Structure 1
């Protein structure tokens, strides 16, 4: 006997079990099964919809600000990509540069587009600037000879001396005379003989180079030579600007910068002979007026009367693409602004991200911004943070010294300084203190006529690394912290990525703390709140 197979569908055996009845019962059973499946599917869909709704309620019930602080939100690779873009822009010019005369405008357009794509309302602040040009690059003349003797020393432009930015144009002949002291005081020129060529100390920072040169011109100097000191003996001849900030703030006589070695040779020639040393100098320069602009972008959230200006200069010198000076500061500035936006952070104090133009022409962008603030606008700015060269290849980690500021804002500057220091200590990183010298865009803010507290980071320019610093940071002693400072080799290869990330972290951390203070100005005045 074969085994009877049990039907798959329910069969009503009590009715006699005709085939017709079995067929009907199968259809009913299939229909029942399909209905069960349908109800299951509907139930699952309802659950999914309910879950999604609950998720939305939870999401919108919370603050739309991310819990991730800025120091965890920024991405150094994004900043490095921006540096590549700035290099591409510089490369569009015969001499790769992002100066006002070449790639600055394209750099500013790129930054503006990035900020606008992140939702920022960007303002362009236009202003006029005097643009300096050396019309005879490599063709200046600097010779010396003793009076009544025929032998002449001819010095080499580029390796021994350079024409300094905003040097006057013309020819000068005169006795080379050493000016004792800093040249910052008119009294230093008491014994100066009008018509002589003034030999000055370049490296002393008690006053600006323009002030030194102006004092020399007022004393009757026919030309000026500024020599490096022993602390910068390994650096080439300086080309720094001799400029006071406005079209009229230039010097009318030739100004040269000399290496330490040439300066010592000139001193020996002056001291070791009974003859006077007569020098001949020729330069050919010009200053023309151009229009440029700052790029400014503010957060929509935050107190209008408690603004943090987070700044960096975007332009380079004409001689190079300026990727460390100061693409590094501006790329970090941009990435921190974008990180704030993409993480939906809502600062309690408004942040204005500023990309200054024409810094390399004499801090002109930041000076113009500060000079055009109303009293009410000036009062609304709580502080300035400045980032200028923060990825130097032979770096030190530098924090600006708040105690160097005017007494009225010193405590506030020291509070800012303390936050940077606190972050380095948290990360177990060594750092050193740099004094405020007024040679970057914090200068107009801490000026005694403005008195807005400031702070910032710096990894070094033509400062020379000491043996002690080499032991602390590595790298090379007796070599400039950035050997490509203001040169064509300041490219993307001139960046130390590790220190760059560390400096960006300290910048983001400090901004995070400051922008989330309930009473920022009180916080700045009470630096005892800082714990190390």
Structure 2
């Protein structure tokens, strides 16, 4: 059993019941003070890197990835479960079904010229000959998220071409399908290819949908006709979440914190999302299963996030109304050590008035908690939208306030951000996102350490109190806020 010693900070010692102390026995495990300062001091870069090394080794032993539905994912589950059990947690691994997706043929032809295209996950298949049809593009400034964006245009039998952004890909193809489009092409909204994307699930997928780069998008829009061939296959399989909760603290104000454990099939997923997994796991190990806390903490490690937030969605769908009422808030951690790292907190109050709206009542307070914590480290934090691309999505959809920190994915770092945080302007936060180069060697360890400590701080703060200046609605106020939302 691992010994964790926190110098210079108060600690709680758990002596295993029924054991006397002898030189042949393992020493009593030492846990950190279970509050914000205590946990943030205890969650070290060294410990986080240790977990990442284990996850990278697991991927190396299993075809280079830890994707849901694979032996690499199962080995990742085994590792996290064993770690949690070593800290005294009772752990469950509920199973759920989801669809796996494979694209066998992906081609796009414009008057005989081949354009690179990817099939979005769950895209329905075309025939081997593909779909040849005229092109109808969403008007300039329209995002294709509602039928009104195509007013005056005839999409019947056409290939709809629509920019990425504002709403999920699944919404864009649904709108096009309902207007009669035969297929859809999503154009990246920034330079470079659209490396990956999902329509959400097989039930949402209506028409064959591919993605192209911003540069190639212009050529597609200019073409009178294209031939799109996406030969795909979707199969049903199973995966697991991991759930572990403290035995102490109120179960009427549960703090749920989560990170997705799976990688994409293309790589080991060490930043996405080994880093978030490591931070949540190490916080659990430092807290222990029976800390002196006010509110119970539920640690979750989600499966099949990369397949469309499946594990977290199935979990929330399985909660009773009372279960949902008893969750005070959800803290999500997905990518906290990006190579060209940013320091971002989910924009709970929509303070920039850009993009997605504010989160449920209390999300603004969660954002302040992380902004203030990182400010103590000399880091000025920017907001990032609740854009539906991570596991907070199912929680905010049912009115549960959410928040967390994030170091950026495939968006570009601005010049102002590079001046503020370092790194390279006009380059993506993580050029290794969803590739085989998402390895420990490409993790920004300084960002990992700062964000990892912030993860632990936020969990510790709310474990002790969900009220106060940075609190969330409780009791009747919570019920009213969620009813209104």
Partner of 2:16: none
Hey, what's the Cα distance between the residues in 2 that align with 1:66 and 1:331?
18
Deviation at 1:444, TM superposition (A): 0.7
Deviation at 1:255, TM superposition (A): 1.4
Hey, what's the Cα distance between the residues in 2 that align with 1:393 and 1:327?
14
Partner of 2:51: 82
Partner of 2:132: 173
1:17-166 aligned at under 5 Å gives the runs 69-134=38-103, 136=104, 139-145=105-111, 152-155=112-115, 157=116, 161-166=117-122
Any conservation in 1 of the 2:33–2:287 contact (CA below 8 Å)? no
Any conservation in 2 of the 1:125–1:294 contact (CA below 8 Å)? yes
| Ranges in structure 1 where 5+ consecutive residues have no aligned partner | 1-62, 146-151, 271-276, 527-532
Hey, what's the Cα distance between the residues in 2 that align with 1:424 and 1:66?
19
The verdict on how the C-alpha distance between 1:97 and 1:354 changes in structure 2, with shifts beyond 3 A counting, is closer
Partner of 1:313: 260
Partner of 1:336: 283
Aligned partner of 2:273 among 326, 333, 336: 326
State the SS of the aligned residue for 1:402: coil
1:251-290 aligned at under 5 Å gives the runs 251=206, 253-267=207-221, 269-270=222-223, 277-290=224-237
Deviation at 1:493, TM superposition (A): 1.3
The verdict on how the C-alpha distance between 1:124 and 1:521 changes in structure 2, with shifts beyond 3 A counting, is farther
Partner of 1:415: 365
Any conservation in 2 of the 1:102–1:318 contact (CA below 8 Å)? no
**Which is richer in helix?**
1
Any conservation in 1 of the 2:44–2:453 contact (CA below 8 Å)? no
Deviation at 1:188, TM superposition (A): 2.0
1:127-526 aligned at under 5 Å gives the runs 127-134=96-103, 136=104, 139-145=105-111, 152-155=112-115, 157=116, 161-170=117-126, 171-180=130-139, 181-190=142-151, 191-202=153-164, 204-205=165-166, 207-229=167-189, 232-233=190-191, 235-243=192-200, 245=201, 247-251=202-206, 253-267=207-221, 269-270=222-223, 277-341=224-288, 345-404=291-350, 409-410=360-361, 412-447=362-397, 450-517=398-465, 519=467, 523-525=471-473
Deviation at 1:284, TM superposition (A): 1.4
TM-score by length of 2: 0.85
Greater CA radius of gyration, 1 or 2?
1
TM-score by length of 1: 0.77
Any conservation in 2 of the 1:307–1:351 contact (CA below 8 Å)? yes
Deviation at 1:287, TM superposition (A): 0.8
How large is the Cα RMSD of the aligned pairs? 2.2
State the SS of the aligned residue for 1:399: strand
Hey, what's the Cα distance between the residues in 1 that align with 2:32 and 2:382?
39
State the SS of the aligned residue for 1:237: coil
The verdict on how the C-alpha distance between 1:521 and 1:292 changes in structure 2, with shifts beyond 3 A counting, is farther
Deviation at 1:524, TM superposition (A): 1.8
The verdict on how the C-alpha distance between 1:518 and 1:492 changes in structure 2, with shifts beyond 3 A counting, is closer
Hey, what's the Cα distance between the residues in 1 that align with 2:102 and 2:123?
9
State the SS of the aligned residue for 1:256: strand
Hey, what's the Cα distance between the residues in 1 that align with 2:66 and 2:80?
16
Deviation at 1:265, TM superposition (A): 2.7
Cα deviation 1:322-363 (Å, max 9, x = unaligned): 111111100111001001129x73211000000011111111
Deviation at 1:163, TM superposition (A): 2.1
The verdict on how the C-alpha distance between 1:407 and 1:399 changes in structure 2, with shifts beyond 3 A counting, is closer
Hey, what's the Cα distance between the residues in 2 that align with 1:65 and 1:323?
28
Deviation at 1:418, TM superposition (A): 0.5
State the SS of the aligned residue for 1:524: coil
